[in-house]
Structure 1
Amino acid sequence: MRRTAAVALATALAATGVTVTASAAQGDAGGAAGGRPSAAPSERLRDVMFVGNNWAGTATVVDAGTYRPITTIDTIPDRAERMAEILSNPDKLAFYLAIQQGVGEGHDQYTDDMFTTPDGRMVAVSRPSFADVVGIDLASGAIVWRFPMEGYRADHMGVSPDGTRLLVSDSTANKVHELDIRTGEKLREFASGDTPHENNYTRDGERIFHASIGTVYTPLDRPEFDTTKGERVFQIVDNDTMQVEARWDMGAELAEAGYPDMSSAVRPMAVAPDERFVYLQVSFFHGFVEFDTQAPDADGATTYEGEPAVGAVRRVVPLPDRTDGLPREQYVLDSAHHGLAMDAAGTTLCAAGTMSDYAAIVDRETLAFDIVDVGAKPYWATNGPDGDECWMSVSGEDEVVVIDYATAQPVATVPVGDHPQRVREGVVARDVLRAWK
């Protein structure tokens, strides 16, 4: 089925030539992304976790302190309107069906990424199958604004440290849009490689760590076909100018470090507190890569702009492969692992072993690890508000497992909706919470 779905997507492409502390929405808690804006007094906001149920078209709001679901938000209240639009447009219909059968594993992809506004009254949601981002009023459930992609699919997002600006990856347009999170107005953009994916701000908001993953939906998964996957780059973007200040082909960097035939596709990442070291998952690899963004390049290479190149692979960290010889072609979208976070202290990593059904809690210095069995297809890892717990979506179980970094033990299992993927910290205004009840 995987091969058939990949052919369908390729055909479509060819045819169209919660704790009660005062924190606000932040970027991927895997590292330096995000930050906590001092938007309002703590008595007016409540920290929660948003869980995007991708196939259901909902988001479960969970109390981060009690781990109890508070409510479920409909992220596709305009489904009838969107479907009428898609069915009347041949190229949109082709991509909709291809996304459903390929990337969605036979399901629509309705809810990908989510971030709340600093006042806790709205949540922005990227919706891959509808190729857009919408701002949803948390009290009424109504769509306040909508931003359509230039291409045919929306993906991962990122939010600025002050919570006002949103980045969204436009999968087939090979760019990232910057939006005003309150209005959905486009502000700026920057260029990416093929299939832009992950976006993370530094804590001061001056730089953006971004990666593209290429055509993960094709069946050409052998190393000898790697070049067919497109341009896949890890890059650092200057937020003042939206210009790429550094760019690496991670497959080439790994080969230079003595690890040939590894993929260039950077998946989720975790940025260390010093924002020099970045921990990267790459396609097909059970484990992660430690990359030093400031190390001098050994061979004296230059960047594409002619500046002296820096950056080097420091360590490659293998973790258990429990797939029992499963062919690479059967990995979900090339993901051996998909989900990586780092605790607030910067000492411990939490990796989602997607194809091996575990979470790995890894000491950053010694690389000693503990394996936590979480169930089928864990798909994302992020931190709770205090940064001492890892929240991991387990998409095959329709659950989120919360793991204590210090003990490497699960502290809660939270039932959510159909196929949870992204989990993000957010805030909700307390009068909105009262209205939900």
Structure 2
Amino acid sequence: MMNDSKLSGVFRTSAITALVALSVSAWAGQAPGSLADPDIPVSHHDRVYAAEQFSNTVSVTDPADNHLLGVIRLGDPSPGNFSPLYRGQLLVHGMGYSPDHHTLAVVSIGSNSVTFIDTQTNAIKGVTYVGRSPHEAFFTPDGSEVWVTVRGENYVSVLDAKTFQEKTRIMLPAGPGMQIFSPDGKYGYVCSSFNPETDVVSVKDHQIVGKIRQASPFCPNIAATPDGKQVWFTLKDVGKVQVFDARPPFALIKTLETGPITNHVNIVHNEKGMFAYVTVGGLNQVKAYRTDNFEPVATIPVGNLPHAAWPSGDGTRLYVGLENGDALAAIDTITNTVVANVPVGQAPQAIAYVPNAVTEGDGTQNLQPLGVAGQAVHLSLHAVGQNAGDASGAPTSVALFDQGLLQVLQASVTGLSPKQPYILGLSDSPDGTGGIEPLANFMTNPAGSAIVNALGQIRQVVQPGTAGTDKRRYLVVAPSVAGKPGAVVQVQTP
């Protein structure tokens, strides 16, 4: 017979165990899973994958020590991939993973492909070619299908998750941008990048069962809360996020002004509650909002052009891809501070944090060193008349991604007049008063921002201290007046 003191101890132990269990279950479950799913603590079995569009690589990071293990090389840099006989993948961009955490689906926009990768061995299991310019691929929660948004056309390509072959198509308005599923697997939510409409599709029979009006036609990203109550999507061109009810009649709940070049949104559930984290590329920030009252709770500086974001399996961290920074920023979601930066390939677009991706061994098979994929030069532009050291406002960030003799230039341009034509060019003088040679013409979006690309031997003339340069040049932005550069409005920061 147990004495009173032992019995009391058992009750106390049981009570503590019950409280711990209740505490864990009260905030378990991370997107894209269900709230009922158990949290998975960060470990060496986890992996953070990033799809990098200018190096055509998938970087693989161990989040336990924030160490880059290597890259999976799906294609070559330019100009090698210009050949008509080229067989690799181009513009590696989108990413999703299977419910069993053993398969990645990686979308390459330029080669119209979905590459399936084994997370244990980093080996390619298969490649499926779909329609023009696919954007994202995600597995249904039951793991039976992979939905691929074919943004260059007007449908979602539905693949069999075992054979990787297309089984049917879901016809939608032109430009489906991305899809995510309700945690119970009942609905697929598909936003559009060309039309101001998000469609809700029944997973069971692939029929459209609801429509939500978007405030603009350019949605690149969408996320569902693990409690099955809300869906959040971003509007890149107008700098907004919208929230609608995940259940019929799918009514719009809230519109938030977030900032220029609003890229991705994802959901984190931790001991403080449930939050939506939004990457705002034009401000180089991540913003966090409560999902119950939509109040902002944090603004986190992270680096140049934050794009994708994905939480750890226990919601204690959020990883953010820095598109013009060639890095992952790891955010502690309890303190909302950056705790690590991991170098990765060129221009990370999508991120997938996959808990228990590697069940045994070190999981480094078939990985290659970062090599040329990690080579880039980073510059910035500031407004004419603004002190170059003034951090107020949002400077234009520029990355020159090395492709051998050439570089891909990508500028995240902000602070301009909305819906106006501009020229990114090279000036003979640092203040932009000399002659200007145009590199790219572009039109700003309604938020006065734009992503601008060019290709050439640009680093050799604009990087300070470059040896062998015949004539130093300077990056500038000027309005386009009758097709020619007007008065310069932004100049290269020394």
Q: TM-score range by the shorter chain?
A: 0.5 to 0.7
* Unaligned segments of structure 1, at least 5 residues: 1-29, 89-107, 215-230, 252-262, 296-309, 324-335
Letter in 1 for 2:263: H
Structure 1 residue 63: Cα displacement: 1.2
Superposition map of 1:335-374 within 5 A: 336-345=261-270, 347-364=274-291, 365=293, 367-374=295-302
TM-score normalised per structure 2: 0.59
| Corresponding position of 1:405 | 333
% same residue = 19
| Corresponding position of 1:272 | 225
Superposition map of 1:10-409 within 5 A: 33-34=32-33, 46-76=45-75, 109-117=90-98, 122-137=103-118, 143-149=124-130, 151-214=131-194, 231-251=195-215, 263-294=216-247, 310-319=249-258, 321=259, 336-345=261-270, 347-364=274-291, 365=293, 367-409=295-337
Question: Per the alignment, in what secondary structure is the counterpart of residue 355 of structure 1?
Answer: helix
Letter in 2 for 1:189: R
Structure 1 residue 314: Cα displacement: 2.7
Q: Deviations over 1:71-116 (max 9, x none)?
A: 211123899998665789xxxxxxxxxxxxxxxxxxx952112344
Write the distance in 1 (CA, Å) between the matches of 2:254 and 2:35: 31
Write the distance in 1 (CA, Å) between the matches of 2:245 and 2:310: 22
Write the distance in 2 (CA, Å) between the matches of 1:183 and 1:232: 34
Instruction: Give the paired residue count.
Output: 331
Q: Which has the higher contact order (CA 8 A, sep 6+)?
A: 1
Question: Per the alignment, in what secondary structure is the counterpart of residue 60 of structure 2?
Answer: strand
Structure 1 residue 120: Cα displacement: 6.0
Structure 1 residue 201: Cα displacement: 1.4
Asked if the contact 1:155/1:168 (under 8 Å) is kept, the reply is yes
Letter in 2 for 1:213: S
- The 1:182–1:415 alpha-carbon spacing in structure 2 relative to 1, beyond 3 Å, is farther
Asked if the contact 2:107/2:135 (under 8 Å) is kept, the reply is yes
Structure 1 residue 128: Cα displacement: 0.5
Write the distance in 1 (CA, Å) between the matches of 2:91 and 2:31: 27
Write the distance in 1 (CA, Å) between the matches of 2:109 and 2:85: 13
Asked if the contact 2:229/2:245 (under 8 Å) is kept, the reply is yes
Letter in 2 for 1:168: V
Q: Deviations over 1:24-62 (max 9, x none)?
A: xxxxxx975356999xxx9xx922111111111111111
- The 1:87–1:270 alpha-carbon spacing in structure 2 relative to 1, beyond 3 Å, is closer
Asked if the contact 1:34/1:201 (under 8 Å) is kept, the reply is no
Q: Deviations over 1:140-181 (max 9, x none)?
A: 7664422111x3212111122244432111122211112233
Q: Which has the larger radius of gyration?
A: 2
Asked if the contact 1:74/1:141 (under 8 Å) is kept, the reply is no
Q: Deviations over 1:115-148 (max 9, x none)?
A: 4456666533211110111224567766442211
Structure 1 residue 418: Cα displacement: 0.5
Letter in 2 for 1:274: D
Question: Per the alignment, in what secondary structure is the counterpart of residue 72 of structure 2?
Answer: strand
TM-score normalised per structure 1: 0.66
Write the distance in 2 (CA, Å) between the matches of 1:177 and 1:375: 35
- The 1:395–1:184 alpha-carbon spacing in structure 2 relative to 1, beyond 3 Å, is same
Asked if the contact 1:287/1:317 (under 8 Å) is kept, the reply is yes
Question: Per the alignment, in what secondary structure is the counterpart of residue 266 of structure 1?
Answer: coil
- The 1:118–1:178 alpha-carbon spacing in structure 2 relative to 1, beyond 3 Å, is same
Asked if the contact 2:121/2:365 (under 8 Å) is kept, the reply is no
Structure 1 residue 243: Cα displacement: 0.6
- The 1:116–1:249 alpha-carbon spacing in structure 2 relative to 1, beyond 3 Å, is closer
| Corresponding position of 2:23 | none
Asked if the contact 1:292/1:312 (under 8 Å) is kept, the reply is yes
Write the distance in 2 (CA, Å) between the matches of 1:204 and 1:291: 17
Question: Per the alignment, in what secondary structure is the counterpart of residue 112 of structure 1?
Answer: strand
Asked if the contact 1:233/1:266 (under 8 Å) is kept, the reply is no
Asked if the contact 1:37/1:162 (under 8 Å) is kept, the reply is no
- Greater strand share, structure number: 2
Write the distance in 1 (CA, Å) between the matches of 2:118 and 2:54: 21
Write the distance in 2 (CA, Å) between the matches of 1:139 and 1:68: 17
